[in-house]
Chain A
Amino acid sequence: AQSVSQHNHHVILSEAASLELGCNYSYGGTVNLFWYVQYPGQHLQLLLKYFSGDPLVKGIKGFEAEFIKSKFSFNLRKPSVQWSDTAEYFCAVTLRGTDKLIFGTGTRLQVFP
Protein backbone atom coordinates (compact mmCIF):
# COMPACT_ATOMS: atom_id res chain seq x y z
CA ALA A 1 0.00 0.00 0.00
CA GLN A 2 1.06 3.54 -0.64
CA SER A 3 2.62 5.24 2.40
CA VAL A 4 4.52 8.36 3.37
CA SER A 5 7.25 8.45 6.04
CA GLN A 6 8.47 11.48 7.91
CA HIS A 7 11.32 10.37 10.13
CA ASN A 8 11.78 13.64 12.02
CA HIS A 9 8.93 13.82 14.49
CA HIS A 10 10.10 16.86 16.44
CA VAL A 11 12.79 19.32 15.39
CA ILE A 12 14.07 22.17 17.55
CA LEU A 13 16.16 24.92 15.98
CA SER A 14 17.43 28.39 16.76
CA GLU A 15 16.59 31.25 14.45
CA ALA A 16 18.85 31.47 11.38
CA ALA A 17 19.64 27.76 11.48
CA SER A 18 19.13 25.73 8.33
CA LEU A 19 16.28 23.27 8.08
CA GLU A 20 15.84 19.99 6.27
CA LEU A 21 12.83 17.77 6.91
CA GLY A 22 12.81 14.30 5.43
CA CYS A 23 9.97 12.73 3.46
CA ASN A 24 9.98 9.34 1.76
CA TYR A 25 7.14 7.65 -0.01
CA SER A 26 6.54 4.12 -1.13
CA TYR A 27 4.99 3.81 -4.55
CA GLY A 28 6.52 2.85 -7.86
CA GLY A 29 4.24 4.81 -10.15
CA THR A 30 3.92 8.47 -11.00
CA VAL A 31 3.10 10.61 -8.00
CA ASN A 32 2.30 14.18 -7.12
CA LEU A 33 4.05 15.46 -3.99
CA PHE A 34 3.10 18.14 -1.51
CA TRP A 35 4.20 19.83 1.67
CA TYR A 36 1.51 21.34 3.86
CA VAL A 37 2.06 23.52 6.93
CA GLN A 38 -0.17 23.93 9.96
CA TYR A 39 0.60 26.94 12.14
CA PRO A 40 -0.55 26.73 15.78
CA GLY A 41 -4.32 26.86 15.97
CA GLN A 42 -4.76 27.15 12.22
CA HIS A 43 -5.79 24.88 9.36
CA LEU A 44 -3.49 23.29 6.83
CA GLN A 45 -2.06 25.43 4.07
CA LEU A 46 -0.17 24.36 0.98
CA LEU A 47 3.54 25.19 1.19
CA LEU A 48 4.62 23.79 -2.18
CA LYS A 49 3.87 21.04 -4.67
CA TYR A 50 5.57 18.98 -7.35
CA PHE A 51 3.79 17.58 -10.38
CA SER A 52 6.49 17.33 -13.04
CA GLY A 53 9.46 19.19 -14.54
CA ASP A 54 12.22 20.76 -12.47
CA PRO A 55 12.68 18.53 -9.41
CA LEU A 56 13.63 21.55 -7.28
CA VAL A 57 10.43 23.25 -6.29
CA LYS A 58 10.18 26.63 -4.59
CA GLY A 59 7.27 27.44 -2.32
CA ILE A 60 6.09 30.25 -0.12
CA LYS A 61 8.09 31.86 2.69
CA GLY A 62 11.48 30.78 1.34
CA PHE A 63 10.83 27.03 1.49
CA GLU A 64 11.96 24.65 -1.22
CA ALA A 65 11.86 20.91 -1.77
CA GLU A 66 13.76 18.55 -4.01
CA PHE A 67 12.21 15.49 -5.63
CA ILE A 68 14.76 12.68 -5.96
CA LYS A 69 12.97 9.92 -7.83
CA SER A 70 15.69 7.31 -7.27
CA LYS A 71 15.42 7.78 -3.51
CA PHE A 72 11.61 8.17 -3.42
CA SER A 73 12.23 11.34 -1.45
CA PHE A 74 10.85 14.87 -1.33
CA ASN A 75 12.75 16.67 1.43
CA LEU A 76 11.80 20.15 2.56
CA ARG A 77 14.51 22.77 3.09
CA LYS A 78 14.92 26.34 4.22
CA PRO A 79 18.34 27.99 4.51
CA SER A 80 17.50 30.19 7.51
CA VAL A 81 14.46 29.58 9.71
CA GLN A 82 12.53 32.22 11.61
CA TRP A 83 10.54 32.04 14.81
CA SER A 84 7.39 32.39 12.72
CA ASP A 85 8.18 29.06 11.02
CA THR A 86 7.18 27.25 14.21
CA ALA A 87 4.49 24.88 12.97
CA GLU A 88 3.73 21.32 12.04
CA TYR A 89 4.77 20.22 8.57
CA PHE A 90 3.12 17.42 6.62
CA CYS A 91 4.37 15.68 3.53
CA ALA A 92 1.67 14.19 1.29
CA VAL A 93 1.46 12.11 -1.86
CA THR A 94 -1.19 11.35 -4.40
CA LEU A 95 -1.14 9.10 -7.40
CA ARG A 96 -1.21 10.92 -10.71
CA GLY A 97 -4.81 11.01 -11.89
CA THR A 98 -6.39 10.63 -8.48
CA ASP A 99 -7.23 13.21 -5.86
CA LYS A 100 -6.78 11.25 -2.63
CA LEU A 101 -3.94 12.53 -0.49
CA ILE A 102 -1.87 10.21 1.68
CA PHE A 103 -0.28 12.15 4.52
CA GLY A 104 2.83 11.51 6.53
CA THR A 105 2.63 11.65 10.31
CA GLY A 106 3.97 15.18 10.44
CA THR A 107 7.04 16.94 11.85
CA ARG A 108 6.68 19.46 14.62
CA LEU A 109 9.17 22.31 14.20
CA GLN A 110 9.96 24.65 17.06
CA VAL A 111 12.16 27.66 16.36
CA PHE A 112 13.56 29.61 19.29
CA PRO A 113 14.68 33.23 19.00
Chain B
Amino acid sequence: NAGVTQTPKFQVLKTGQSMTLQCAQDMNHNSMYWYRQDPGMGLRLIYYSASEGTTDKGEVPNGYNVSRLNKREFSLRLESAAPSQTSVYFCASSVGDRKNYNEQFFGPGTRLTVL
Protein backbone atom coordinates (compact mmCIF):
# COMPACT_ATOMS: atom_id res chain seq x y z
CA ASN B 1 0.00 0.00 0.00
CA ALA B 2 1.60 3.23 -1.15
CA GLY B 3 -1.15 5.40 0.39
CA VAL B 4 -1.31 8.81 -1.30
CA THR B 5 1.34 9.52 -3.93
CA GLN B 6 2.10 12.80 -5.67
CA THR B 7 4.18 13.74 -8.67
CA PRO B 8 6.36 15.63 -9.17
CA LYS B 9 8.13 16.26 -5.85
CA PHE B 10 9.66 19.54 -7.03
CA GLN B 11 8.92 21.87 -9.92
CA VAL B 12 10.12 25.26 -11.06
CA LEU B 13 7.97 27.19 -13.54
CA LYS B 14 8.19 30.52 -15.25
CA THR B 15 5.27 32.94 -14.95
CA GLY B 16 2.61 32.03 -17.48
CA GLN B 17 3.61 28.39 -17.89
CA SER B 18 1.10 25.64 -17.20
CA MET B 19 1.46 22.36 -15.40
CA THR B 20 -0.54 19.56 -13.80
CA LEU B 21 0.13 18.08 -10.40
CA GLN B 22 -0.82 14.44 -10.15
CA CYS B 23 -2.24 12.64 -7.13
CA ALA B 24 -3.26 9.03 -6.70
CA GLN B 25 -4.45 6.94 -3.78
CA ASP B 26 -4.72 3.18 -3.46
CA MET B 27 -6.95 3.02 -0.37
CA ASN B 28 -10.27 2.96 -2.26
CA HIS B 29 -11.20 6.30 -0.70
CA ASN B 30 -14.15 8.28 -1.99
CA SER B 31 -13.00 11.80 -1.10
CA MET B 32 -9.88 13.56 -2.28
CA TYR B 33 -8.51 17.04 -1.59
CA TRP B 34 -5.92 19.53 -2.75
CA TYR B 35 -4.33 21.94 -0.25
CA ARG B 36 -1.63 24.55 -0.44
CA GLN B 37 0.68 25.25 2.48
CA ASP B 38 2.24 28.66 2.91
CA PRO B 39 4.39 29.92 5.80
CA GLY B 40 2.27 31.36 8.58
CA MET B 41 -0.99 30.40 6.89
CA GLY B 42 -1.34 26.71 7.58
CA LEU B 43 -3.04 24.55 4.98
CA ARG B 44 -5.79 25.99 2.84
CA LEU B 45 -8.18 23.91 0.79
CA ILE B 46 -8.06 24.60 -2.94
CA TYR B 47 -10.52 22.03 -4.30
CA TYR B 48 -12.02 18.80 -3.16
CA SER B 49 -13.89 15.88 -4.64
CA ALA B 50 -16.43 14.07 -2.50
CA SER B 51 -16.74 11.24 -5.00
CA GLU B 52 -15.76 10.24 -8.50
CA GLY B 53 -17.22 12.68 -10.98
CA THR B 54 -17.77 15.55 -8.54
CA THR B 55 -15.56 18.48 -7.61
CA ASP B 56 -16.12 21.56 -5.46
CA LYS B 57 -14.25 24.74 -4.71
CA GLY B 58 -12.49 25.18 -1.43
CA GLU B 59 -11.15 28.30 0.23
CA VAL B 60 -8.63 29.39 -2.46
CA PRO B 61 -9.68 28.00 -5.88
CA ASN B 62 -8.73 30.96 -8.11
CA GLY B 63 -6.07 30.12 -10.68
CA TYR B 64 -6.57 26.37 -10.39
CA ASN B 65 -8.61 23.64 -12.03
CA VAL B 66 -9.05 20.03 -11.00
CA SER B 67 -10.05 16.75 -12.56
CA ARG B 68 -11.24 13.66 -10.75
CA LEU B 69 -10.11 11.27 -13.45
CA ASN B 70 -11.38 8.17 -11.65
CA LYS B 71 -11.73 7.02 -8.07
CA ARG B 72 -7.95 6.78 -7.62
CA GLU B 73 -6.71 9.95 -9.27
CA PHE B 74 -7.27 13.66 -8.64
CA SER B 75 -5.17 16.16 -10.58
CA LEU B 76 -4.60 19.87 -10.02
CA ARG B 77 -3.85 22.12 -12.99
CA LEU B 78 -2.32 25.57 -13.10
CA GLU B 79 -3.21 27.04 -16.48
CA SER B 80 -1.04 30.15 -16.23
CA ALA B 81 1.26 30.04 -13.23
CA ALA B 82 1.86 33.17 -11.17
CA PRO B 83 4.49 33.86 -8.48
CA SER B 84 1.69 33.94 -5.90
CA GLN B 85 1.21 30.23 -6.57
CA THR B 86 4.65 29.40 -5.22
CA SER B 87 3.79 27.01 -2.43
CA VAL B 88 3.86 23.44 -1.23
CA TYR B 89 0.87 21.49 -2.51
CA PHE B 90 -0.56 18.54 -0.63
CA CYS B 91 -3.08 16.01 -1.83
CA ALA B 92 -5.15 14.08 0.70
CA SER B 93 -7.85 11.45 0.70
CA SER B 94 -10.44 10.08 3.12
CA VAL B 95 -13.04 7.35 3.14
CA GLY B 96 -15.67 10.08 2.81
CA ASP B 97 -18.26 8.66 5.12
CA ARG B 98 -20.07 11.77 6.30
CA LYS B 99 -21.91 10.01 9.07
CA ASN B 100 -18.68 9.41 10.88
CA TYR B 101 -15.84 11.66 9.92
CA ASN B 102 -12.81 9.79 8.70
CA GLU B 103 -9.16 10.69 8.89
CA GLN B 104 -7.56 12.41 5.94
CA PHE B 105 -4.35 10.82 4.69
CA PHE B 106 -1.82 13.13 3.13
CA GLY B 107 0.66 12.71 0.30
CA PRO B 108 4.32 13.79 0.51
CA GLY B 109 3.72 17.14 -1.18
CA THR B 110 4.92 18.99 -4.29
CA ARG B 111 7.15 22.01 -3.80
CA LEU B 112 6.37 24.46 -6.60
CA THR B 113 8.31 27.63 -7.35
CA VAL B 114 7.06 30.12 -9.92
CA LEU B 115 9.64 32.63 -11.09
Contact = CB atoms under 8 A, between A and B. Distances in A.
Interface of A: 4, 6, 9, 32, 42-46, 49, 51, 90, 94, 96-101, 103-106
Interface residues of B, number: 28
A33 B91 CA distance: 20
A106 B106 contact: no
Contacts, number: 56
A103 to B, nearest CB: 4
B99 A97 contact: yes
B93 to A, nearest CB: 10
Contact of A101 (B98, B99, B104, B107): B104
Contact of A99 (B4, B94, B106): B94
A97 B98 contact: yes
Contact of B101 (A32, A45, A104, A105): A32
Given A103-B43, A106-B42, A98 B98 contact: yes
Given A43-B109, A97-B101, 19 more contacts: A32-B101, A43-B4, A43-B107, A44-B92, A44-B106, A49-B103, A51-B100, A90-B42, A90-B43, A94-B101, A99-B31, A99-B48, A99-B50, A99-B101, A99-B102, A100-B58, A101-B33, A103-B42, A105-B42
Contacts of A49: 103
Q: Which 5 A-B pairs have the closest CB atoms?
A: A103-B42, A105-B42, A44-B106, A103-B43, A43-B106
Contacts of B50: 99
Contacts of A97: 98-99, 101
Interface in B13-62: 31, 33, 35, 40-45, 48, 50, 58
Nearest to A49: B103
A95 B89 CA distance: 23
